């Protein structure tokens, strides 16, 4: 063995020893070293492959697709709910400004089709200013409770509320009954749907202006009416609500890029997934269904569980205390137009949601209805009194999750990084798109009769 060969053998042995030593190092020693060399970074962005989903996650995603939206369940309390003629009549009532105290307010004043049936204001404005933010009406027919506090249990009964609110339409129910009576088109539409229109020609029995409202003259007029005549008016009034509800049942979202991404994910089509959502948007979706826990409340194809939760949104300081669902559930029980009342078409056993509604518990205190996130980028400002101006600020609210001023907040701090928050917002913006509703129902009816004060 010469000197060169000896050197080569020693060299190979040394390399071999190093290799053996490296292989025999336990994997956890390697990871420990890595962790030690990295300083802990607070609020580190959660980076995952945004196009990679486990089988379990795929099943979860499928539940969020509009393809999972079941057919609209019937509303047993409203016999006209799915009658197309009622929807057409309701469409007119929805846009008709004569149903107000000043001839200037209709439902569409605060629920504008071009703003996904909201109004762009923190607090809705009718004849006066309301304490709450106007809610979207898209997909609302899938709810069982209406308003931020759920103080109505059907859509037709909900529709009656704003018409008599002093700050919304500001009118009253005999006024509205007379408008329908005196408009030949409405009169005919009403009779086709609900049978003979009652004779309201006796002005002493049926004053021009009467109803259980805050206006003293109208209120006195209502109290002076016989119970039977009040009942006659109440029936016309509730049929008006039932027609408007039939129209609102047509307001539905259409699938967006988000739904197409889910389709592509379920089909295992990576190219298509990348075409539908950018990396940032898909990262946002990962957070939404994952560590940000949004899906706990914003779930199902409309991204709402249709229920009530307290998420610690700071109340507006210039408004009286808002107890949310705790008060709403009590109001609905006393409502003569609720599902169990005489103006409802439901049978005894068809109002389970009212009979078995939870009426007590700390979780009801300042709990508000979980809004749909479909088209959410188009419905700013946000929350029950429009307290939060932008989606960025909504996400900051969840990230910090301050304690509730009233009741107990279910939200806990997320500690997400600025990039995470941007990704979440990017994802929320993928939920917007045109509605599924036929275009003629997204504008005032062409043949709507308008008064002079409305035309200008
Ligand atoms: C002055 C503005 C205004 C007018 C006019 C108005 N609304 Fe609203 N609407 C609101 C506000 C504000 C809320 C939330 C109120 C609350 O929670 O107390 C709301 C809530 C609703 C909801 C509940 C949605 C949900 O998810 O629970 C429906 C449905 C609705 N309005 C339909 C109508 C109909 C139908 C009319 C006409 C008869 C109408 N609104 C007139 C402002 C208005
Ligand atoms: C514990 C239930 C719950 C969780 C979890 C939750 N939300 Fe909400 N979300 C609500 C409720 C309730 C409201 C309305 C609160 C209010 O008005 O006071 C709301 C309102 C919103 C709004 C405003 C919508 C509008 O029309 O005003 C957005 C946007 C939103 N949430 C997004 C998210 C995101 C994103 C997450 C995850 C980071 C999330 N939410 C987690 C219950 C929840």
**194/228 same-domain check:** yes
Instruction: Give yes or no: residues 91 and 239 share one domain.
Output: yes
**End residue of a domain, out of 252, 276, 308:** 252
pLDDT at residue 38, as a whole number: 43
Counting ligands in written order, the one closest to the CA of 399 is 2
| CA dist list (Å): 222 to 142, 179, 206, 214, 219 | 34, 17, 9, 11, 5
Answer yes or no: is the C-beta of 162 below 6 A from any ligand 1 atom: yes
Same domain as 289, residue 245? no
Which 8-state DSSP code applies to residue 320? -
Tell whether ligand 1 has an atom less than 6 A from the beta carbon of residue 124: yes
Confidence at 3, pLDDT banded by 50, 70, 90: low
Same domain, 95 and 222: yes
C-beta of 292 in contact with ligand 1 (< 6 A): no
Closest ligand to residue 148's CA = 1
Residue 218 located in a structural domain: yes
- Which residues face 46 on adjacent strands? none
Q: What is the per-residue pLDDT for 20? A: 43
The verdict on 246 and 296 lying in the same domain is no
The last residue of a domain, from among 207, 235, 252: 252
Q: In this structure, are 194 and 247 located in the same domain?
A: yes
pLDDT at 27: 35
Asked if residue 342 belongs to a domain, the reply is no
Is residue 146 in a domain? Answer: yes
Residue 31: pLDDT over 50: no
CA 197 – ligand 1 centroid, Å: 27
Nearest protein Cα to ligand 1, atom 42: 134
What DSSP assignment string belongs to 19-45? HHHHHHS-HHHHHHHHHHHS---TT--
Residue 154 has pLDDT above 90, yes or no: yes
CA of 132 to the centre of ligand 1 (A): 9
Are 288 and 294 contacting, i.e. CB atoms less than 8 angstroms apart?
yes
Is 19 within a domain? no
Q: Which ligand is nearest to the CA of 116?
A: 2
Ligand 2 atom closest to residue 384's alpha carbon, by position in its atom list: 17
Give the mutation target among 394, 405, 423 for probing the ligand 2 site: most ligand atoms within 8 A of CB.
394
The string of pLDDT tens digits covering residues 41-70 is 446 666 689 999 999 999 999 999 999 999
pLDDT at position 348 is 81
Residues 268 and 234 in one domain: no
Distance CA 405, CA 316 (A): 11
Confidence class of residue 450 from pLDDT cuts 50, 70 and 90?
A: low
**How many domains is the chain built from?**
2
Q: List CB contacts of 310: < 8 A, sequence separation 6 or more.
A: 324, 363, 365, 366, 367, 368, 404, 407, 408, 409, 410
Q: Which two tokens stand for residue 258?
A: 């988000």
pLDDT in tens, 168-177: 999 999 999 9
In this structure, of 255-259, 357-361, 370-374, the range with the lowest mean pLDDT score is 357-361
Tell me, in angstroms, the distance from the centre of ligand 2 to residue 410's CA. 11
Q: Which of 149, 375, 377, 383 to mutate to test the pocket of ligand 2 (most atoms within 8 A of CB)?
A: 383
**Token pair listed for 141:** 């027919």
Question: What value does the mean pLDDT take over residues 414-441?
Answer: 97
Q: Give the mean model confidence (pLDDT) for residues 436-451.
A: 87
Could you read off the pLDDT of 238-274 as tens digits, one per residue?
A: 999 999 999 999 999 999 999 999 999 999 999 999 9
pTM confidence score: 0.90
Domain of 181: which CATH number? Answer: 1.10.760.10
Cis, peptide link before residue 131, omega less than 30° from 0: no
Last residue within a domain, chosen from 224, 252, 280: 252
Write the pLDDT tens digit of every residue in 187-216. 999 999 999 999 999 999 999 999 999 999
Give the distance (Å) from ligand 1 centre to CA of residue 1: 98
Mutate to test the pocket of ligand 1, among 94, 100, 108, 110 (most ligand atoms within 8 A of CB): 110
User: Could you list the residue range(s) of the whole structural domain that residue 177 is in?
Assistant: 84-252
- State if residue 151 touches ligand 1 by the CB under 6 angstroms criterion: no
Burial of 295 (0-12, 13-18, 19+ CB in 10 A): middle
302 and 378 fall within a common domain: yes
CA-to-CA distance for 99 and 394, rounded, in angstroms?
Answer: 35
pLDDT at 448: 82
Enumerate the β-bridge partners of residue 382: 388
Structure confidence at residue 249 (pLDDT): 98
Q: Which atom number of ligand 2 is nearest to the Cα of residue 381?
A: 27
Ligand 2 centroid to Cα of residue 370, in Å, is 6
In the reported structure, the alpha carbon of residue 194 is separated from the centroid of ligand 1 by a whole-number distance in angstroms of 25
Is the pLDDT at 16 greater than 90, yes or no? no
Question: Is pLDDT above 50 for 32?
Answer: no
**63 and 111 co-located in one domain:** no
Please report the atom of ligand 2 found closest to the CA of residue 398: 38
């Amino acid at each position: 063995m010469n000197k060169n060969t000896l050197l080569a053998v020693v060299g190979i042995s040394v390399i071999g020893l190093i290799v053996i030593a490296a292989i025999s190092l336990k994997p956890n020693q390697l990871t420990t070293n890595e962790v030690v060399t990295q300083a802990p970074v607070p609020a580190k962005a959660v980076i995952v492959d945004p196009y990679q989903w486990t089988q379990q996650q795929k099943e979860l995603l499928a539940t969020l697709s509009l393809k999972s939206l079941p057919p609209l369940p019937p509303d047993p309390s409203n016999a006209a709910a799915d009658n197309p003629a009622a929807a057409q009549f309701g469409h007119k009532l929805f846009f008709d400004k004569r149903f107000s105290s000043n001839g200037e307010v209709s439902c569409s004043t605060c629920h504008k089709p071009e703003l996904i049936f909201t109004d762009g204001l923190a607090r809705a404005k009718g004849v006066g200013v309301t304490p709450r933010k106007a809610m979207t009406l898209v997909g609302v027919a899938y709810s069982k409770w209406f308003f931020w506090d759920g103080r109505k249990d059907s859509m037709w009964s909900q529709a009656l509320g704003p018409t008599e609110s002093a700050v919304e339409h500001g009118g009253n129910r005999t006024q509205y009954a007379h408008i329908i009576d005196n408009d030949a088109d409405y009169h005919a539409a009403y009779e086709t749907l609900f049978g003979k229109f009652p004779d309201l020609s006796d002005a002493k029995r049926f004053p021009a202006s009467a109803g259980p409202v805050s206006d003293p003259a109208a209120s006195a007029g209502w109290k002076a009416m016989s119970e039977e005549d009040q009942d006659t008016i109440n029936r016309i009034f509730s049929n008006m609500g039932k027609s408007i509800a039939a129209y609102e049942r047509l307001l539905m979202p259409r699938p967006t890029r988000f739904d197409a991404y889910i389709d592509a994910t379920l089909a295992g089509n990576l190219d298509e997934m990348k075409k539908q959502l950018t990396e940032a948007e898909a990262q946002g979706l990962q957070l939404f269904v994952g560590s940000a826990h949004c899906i706990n409340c914003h779930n199902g194809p409309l991204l709402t569980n249709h229920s009530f939760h307290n998420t610690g949104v700071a109340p507006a300081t210039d408004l009286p205390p808002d107890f949310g669902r705790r008060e709403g559930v009590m109001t609905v029980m006393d409502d003569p137009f609720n599902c169990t009342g005489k103006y409802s078409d439901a049978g005894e056993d068809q109002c389970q949601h009212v009979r078995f509604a939870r009426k007590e518990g700390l979780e009801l205190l300042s709990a508000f209805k979980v809004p749909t996130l479909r088209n959410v980028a188009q419905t700013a400002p946000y929350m029950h009194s429009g307290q939060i101006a932008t989606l960025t600020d909504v996400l900051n609210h969840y990230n910090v999750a301050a304690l509730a001023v009233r009741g107990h907040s279910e939200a806990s701090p997320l500690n997400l990084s600025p990039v995470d928050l941007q990704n979440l917002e990017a994802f929320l913006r993928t939920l917007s798109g045109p509605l599924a509703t036929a275009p003629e129902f997204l504008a005032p009816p062409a043949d709507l009769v308008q008064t002079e004060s409305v035309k200008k």
